[in-house]
Chains A and B, each alone.
Chain A
Amino acid sequence: MSAKGGVGKSVVSSLIALSLPKATLIDLDVHAMAIPKLFGLEGRLHEVTSKGIEPFRVKNVAIVSLSGIVKDRFVVLPGGNVAPTMESLIAFSDIDTDYVVFDLPPGLGDEVLVLERVTDFVPVVVTTPSRVSRKVVDYLLKYLEERGKKAKVLVNMAYMECNGKTVKPFGDYEGFGLPLDPDLENYVGRIQDYEGPVRAKVAEFISALF
């Protein structure tokens, strides 16, 4: 999660789900619906059976996204309709894994409130080193603290390995940093095949978590 947009939540959620033994990845960004785009699942529709919404299965990850319900179109919704849509998506998903990763849209609205209503969770908050991002994300961290949840912070695009030298394109940072890897862009549409440094660092983060 992150109060700030464009920091890499969907990429990070995807890599987290791929790093867990078996996980269901639920895409709660009902407007952007980025997860299927990352895994190359565009245009696919979820089968809806008596057990509910059947996830798309890619390697060890079961994926559920609103785009698997609405196909390829814009989803414009008045605020009051967002929470019921998210709740329905979670409630109807056929989940058979021990781990569930929720990819949230940016913001401090229904996405956070619905998740709290539905389940206890470990917040993984994504930011970039930029002061703008850190400031915005601070609001989320303070809120989570008030709610009694200890957030794990990931600083995305924190550094880059350039010919053996470590470069920090956005300046210094504190906390667990993920590298910037331009090659990752080539894996949009097949992120399950990406084995580069960002994936390795996320796996390191996950083993420290459990």
Chain B
Amino acid sequence: MHEWSVAEAVIRTVQDWADGRKVRIKRVVLGIPAVSFLDSDLLKEAFDTLKRDSILEDASLIVRFKSPTFHCNSCNRDFSLDDVKDQLDKVRAEFGEDYPMHLIPALAPAFISCPYCGSHDISAKAQDITIDQLEVEEDGGPQGSG
């Protein structure tokens, strides 16, 4: 499941950032592009399992979906995911849950065309998974870090 590799990458990224800083992580706010349709429950489950025995073991993961607006470079109109729901349904019907844009959101133009003019020359913002916020606690207590 793709959610596990994302959770592992989030933990590794936070650990790299925290290296050398004496902190414990309390909260991670993750921004996920809505078009990737990552399952937030699975993601949290994966995170809660993989975070054990690390500086994130007391951290909670908050998942925020970033709903992108698509822009058509051909006719210059903007449209949302809802505007292409029928096209998305077709893709999920063909591929099932692990479909291409779930794994690689940048593939959207290969599968979705502008609902107004039909062009595939579309662009979307917010295609990366981002760590939007980290809430930390300075680790100065007598017990030290675990």
Contact = CB atoms under 8 A, between A and B. Distances in A.
Contacts of A85: 104, 106-107
Instruction: Tell me whether chain B's interface is mostly helix, strand or loop, or mixed.
Output: helix
Contacts of A78: 73, 109, 121-123
Contact of B103 (A48, A50, A76, A80): A48
Interface string B1-41: 11011000000000000000000000000000000000000
Given A69-B104, A88-B103, A76 B109 contact: yes
B117 interface: no
A208 B60 CA distance: 54
Contacts of A73: 110
A84 B1 contact: no
A77 B5 contact: no
B106 A50 contact: no
Interface string A49-88: 1111100000000000000011101111110111011001
Contacts of A88: 103-104, 106
B47 to A, nearest CB: 13
A81 B35 CA distance: 14
A89 interface: yes
B30 to A, nearest CB: 17
A176 interface: no
B110 to A, nearest CB: 5
Contacts of B104: 69, 84-85, 88-89, 92
B120 interface: yes
B107 A81 contact: yes
A69 B109 contact: no
Contacts of B95: 71
Given A50-B4, A51-B5, A77 B106 contact: yes
A69 B110 contact: no
30 contacts: A48-B103, A50-B1, A50-B4, A50-B5, A52-B5, A70-B100, A70-B110, A73-B110, A74-B110, A75-B107, A75-B110, A76-B109, A77-B109, A78-B109, A78-B123, A81-B106, A81-B108, A81-B109, A81-B123, A82-B106, A84-B104, A84-B105, A84-B106, A85-B104, A85-B106, A85-B107, A88-B104, A92-B5, A92-B103, A92-B104
Given A81-B123, A88-B106, 14 more contacts: A48-B103, A49-B1, A69-B103, A70-B100, A71-B94, A77-B107, A77-B110, A78-B121, A81-B107, A81-B109, A82-B106, A84-B127, A85-B104, A92-B5
Interface of B: 1-2, 4-5, 73, 94-95, 98, 100, 103-110, 120-123, 127-128
